[in-house]
Structure 1
Amino acid sequence: MNRERTAGTVLTGLSVFGYGVGVVASYPGRSVTIVGLMVGVTLVAVGTRGGGA
Structure 2
Amino acid sequence: MQSVSVGGALLTVGGVAGYVVGITAPYPGRAFSLTALMVGLTLVAVGRAGDGEDER
Q: Normalising by the residue count of structure 1, what TM-score does the alignment of the two structures yield?
A: 0.92
Secondary structure at 1:48 match in 2: helix
> Which digits, 9 at most, give the CA deviation of each residue in 1:1-53, with x for residues without a partner?
70110000000001000000000000000000010001000000000012254
Structure 2 unaligned regions, length at least 5:
none
Runs of 4+ in 1 over 4 A off after TM superposition: none
Name the aligned partner's letter for residue 51 of structure 1: E
Aligned residues: 53
Q: Normalising by the residue count of structure 2, what TM-score does the alignment of the two structures yield?
A: 0.87
Secondary structure at 2:14 match in 1: helix
Partner of 1:48: 48
What CA distance in whole angstroms lies between the structure 2 residues aligned with 1:52 and 1:14?
Answer: 32
RMSD: 1.4
Give the structure with the higher percent helix: 2
What CA distance in whole angstroms lies between the structure 1 residues aligned with 2:24 and 2:53?
Answer: 42
Task: Calculate percent identity across the aligned residue pairs.
Answer: 47
Q: Tell me if 1:31 matches 2:27.
A: no
Structure 1 unaligned regions, length at least 5:
none
